[in-house]
Structure 1
């Protein structure tokens, strides 16, 4: 019998670049996936590094797109932000905050250590209800479009391997070791409970 599809969540800071590229790739491969950010606000690159464009999580990708188009079409076309927002609005209407979601997942993948810590901290602060385990894995991805694409394919391969295991609880450590050896990356991994 085939194992039920894994319920996946992928999380970065602002639910813009890394988590959305992984969301896109996993969706195309038929996975049941949702994406999130852990930040209190959504940040997008601005005219200079210390002046990001800041939005609320309730702002739609379309609203952000038109705001940046109005501010400086040339700059935000050049740096790829408009292109990224175009992709994002094809996937879902707006960014979502992980801490506001009460759905259960089998696997939560984070894209940087700080986000991993925030997810684990949030899971530990919740009241345990069903005692269902969820594996939280961190795969470090640099926050730029090229690395997001590379990272998305690595995460997709990892999810395909885990989906094929007969017993994820027992096989996950072996699969992660194999992936660490192949990719040269170190993956943080912990189990939390709902």
Structure 2
């Protein structure tokens, strides 16, 4: 009788492959405390090494975020844009007549003035008034975040577009900085300061339609003295802490896509320089302007809960 093939012994396993030659593990920290591992890029360009020319694709748009009081939504977006892997030069403003923060009742808000009241002074005042209340409603944590981003709230309508943002931010009647530490009131301590010194941005993003209307009306009334294009978006975000976090993430995503489109258009124009893209020349930026509606449409498909508006305006 033929033997059952299922009872035949299994063939011996193949010999193991020859191990590769040992290679030094570059992820292990060396003895002098540094690591040989290159930093993670997350798809972004790394700074050029000494002696190398900067990568022309590393161009960054300059952003401005706007809400009513320059405290919640615009400041969350300001923080996101300036602390991202590919951080952007950013400034922020409010469009209201005064800074209004919630108080013990709807008829008792805490009211401050723009441009000469610091987040630190607001924080100290509310901490002394009722720490439990203002910590529970999120105002104190919000101000703690804000004072680590910039000195104090600024009003859009008081912004002198194109005027250098250098030196002291505000001055009191006697010409001294409001803060006991004068350095706190200097623009250079704002997150996103580098790149905004000239007082010009490429993109304005408001967080409420009435703020968008206020920005457009103000730009129209100024008469475009610089003849420089600026894209003004509105991303409609509910004014609470949770929605501000979501909106900040969405605005950063929009900023990344706009910046990628700008970088491509800039390369097509010859990498900036004499063609005028970096100087904001309208003809040099026409290629970027044409890409913006497509970028916004793709972004809106992913963020349908944040209705967006857009207009091409002029400084």
TMscore range, shorter length: over 0.9
Give the SS at the match of 2:312.
strand
1:2-47, Cα deviation, whole Å (9 max, x unpaired): 1631110000000000000000010002111111101110010111
Q: Which residue, out of 252, 260, 274, partners 1:156?
A: 252
- Note if 1:128 corresponds to 2:186: no
Q: Which residue, out of 169, 173, 187, partners 2:293?
A: 173
For residue 174 of structure 1, report the CA deviation from its aligned partner. Answer: 0.3
What is aligned with 1:60?
Answer: 118
The aligned runs of 1:37-116 (5 Å cut-off) are 37-57=94-114, 58-101=116-159, 102=161, 103-116=199-212
Q: C-alpha separation between the residues in 1 aligned to 2:239 and 2:307?
A: 17
Q: C-alpha separation between the residues in 2 aligned to 1:187 and 1:91?
A: 26
For residue 135 of structure 1, report the CA deviation from its aligned partner. Answer: 0.4
Q: C-alpha separation between the residues in 2 aligned to 1:80 and 1:32?
A: 27
Q: C-alpha separation between the residues in 1 aligned to 2:249 and 2:131?
A: 30
Q: C-alpha separation between the residues in 2 aligned to 1:151 and 1:60?
A: 24
What is aligned with 2:88?
Answer: 31
Which structure ranks higher in relative contact order (CA pairs < 8 Å, sequence separation ≥ 6)?
Answer: 1
Q: C-alpha separation between the residues in 2 aligned to 1:68 and 1:186?
A: 34
Question: Does structure 2 conserve the Cα–Cα contact (< 8 Å) formed by 1:135 and 1:189?
Answer: yes
Give the SS at the match of 2:313.
strand
What is aligned with 1:186?
Answer: 307
Q: Looking at CA atoms only, which structure, 1 or 2, has the larger radius of gyration?
A: 2
- TM-score normalised by the chain length of structure 2: 0.60
1:130-173, Cα deviation, whole Å (9 max, x unpaired): 21100000000000111000000000000000100123211110
Q: C-alpha separation between the residues in 1 aligned to 2:216 and 2:210?
A: 10
For residue 48 of structure 1, report the CA deviation from its aligned partner. Answer: 1.2
Give the SS at the match of 1:121.
helix
- Note if 1:143 corresponds to 2:239: yes
Q: C-alpha separation between the residues in 1 aligned to 2:238 and 2:200?
A: 27
- The runs of 5 or more residues in structure 1 that have no matched partner are none
Structure having the higher strand fraction is: 1
Root-mean-square deviation (CA, aligned residues, Å) is 1.1
Q: C-alpha separation between the residues in 1 aligned to 2:225 and 2:102?
A: 39
Give the SS at the match of 1:2.
helix
Q: Which residue, out of 192, 197, 214, partners 1:118?
A: 214
1:51-94, Cα deviation, whole Å (9 max, x unpaired): 21100111110111111111111100111101110110011111
- Note if 1:20 corresponds to 2:75: yes
